[in-house]
Amino acid sequence: MSAVIELDHISKQFGQVQALEDVSFGIEENEVLALVGDNGAGKSTLIKIISGVLQQTSGSIYIHGEEAEIGDYNDAEARGIETVYQDLAIAPNRTVAQNIFLGNEILESGPLGKLLRFVDDEQMEREASELLSRLELTLDPGSAVKNFSGGEQQSVAIARALQSDPDIVILDEPTSALSLDATQRVLDLIKRLNEQDVTIIFISHNLEAVFDVADRAAILASGRLVGVEDLTDVTEDELVGMMMGRARQSAD
């Protein structure tokens, strides 16, 4: 099994604050990796470095063995990495279709042909409907996102991530704001995506969810990597202990 993403001595400093220190581990292709840790452990920061929103202070990222500079969202997208953020980062007054295709609007020829291309709303709404149905959802793609419930809005954010057909999807706290029902739906979605050969990294405080869908868990505490554990091999208590910084006693 090869590492699709290899993090090598990643550190991130914000002024005086050391958010991440010397984090090194690999994410296997087609696995579901949970990123766990207490508040302030550096999980979101790590995610943002991989997704291009932030840049590491030192260290390297390797994607499929090749060193990668991920300077912004477009670089990440080009490398097949998409992210769904905890606060969703959707535009509330824009429609579902417009959000899904934000930044990647589909164009059609305008009156001046190739010189002036217009946005093709019909095509976008059609493809949006299709994407949403894959997530087993029917939402009116022409309706403004603010009209929908929290869970539905998150589906829009996920659909947006899937629109570019990514290899790697990162989810930051995908279940924290949801009802039990919606949580289950998201977890099912993660499993289904993984079956379709998408590598998934997700941050969660919900250890039940972690044990349910994840293959492995990477534990961060105070900016450092405490360890990466196979979830068939570790108990919840041990996991919590590692999140609090206690290195795991090696199993025998």
Please identify, using beta-carbon distances, which residue of 152 and 238 lies nearer to another protein: 152
Q: Is 143 in the site for another protein (CB under 8 A)?
A: yes
Point out which span in 58-66, 104-112, 182-190, 214-222 binds another protein (CB under 8 A). 104-112
Among 58, 69, 109, 110, binds another protein (CB under 8 A): 110
End-to-end CA distance of the chain: 24
Among 31, 140, 215, 238, binds another protein (CB under 8 A): 140
Q: Is 88 in the site for another protein (CB under 8 A)?
A: yes
Judged by CB under 8 A, the number of residues near another protein is 42
What residue has token string 């990643």? 10
Residue 83: CB minimum distance to another protein, A:
8
Burial of 33 (0-12, 13-18, 19+ CB in 10 A): buried
CA atoms of 145 and 95, how far apart (whole Å): 5
Find, among 124, 127, 173, 125, the residue nearest to 150 by Cα. Answer: 173
Among 2, 9, 118, 246, binds another protein (CB under 8 A): 118
Please identify, using beta-carbon distances, which residue of 46 and 221 lies nearer to another protein: 46
CB 35 within 8 A of CB 43: yes
Q: x/- string (CB under 8 A) for another protein, residues 25-64?
A: ----------------------------x-----------
Among 99, 175, 199, 206, binds another protein (CB under 8 A): 99
Please identify, using beta-carbon distances, which residue of 1 and 180 lies nearer to another protein: 180
Residue 164: CB minimum distance to another protein, A:
10
Q: Is 107 in the site for another protein (CB under 8 A)?
A: yes
Please identify, using beta-carbon distances, which residue of 69 and 103 lies nearer to another protein: 103
Q: x/- string (CB under 8 A) for another protein, residues 153-192?
A: xx-----x----------------x---------------
Question: Going by DSSP bridges, is the β-strand pair 199-203/81-84 parallel, antiparallel, or unpaired?
Answer: unpaired
Residues that bind another protein (CB under 8 A): 53, 72-74, 77, 83, 85, 87-94, 98-99, 102-105, 107, 110, 116-119, 139-140, 142-144, 146-150, 152-154, 160, 177
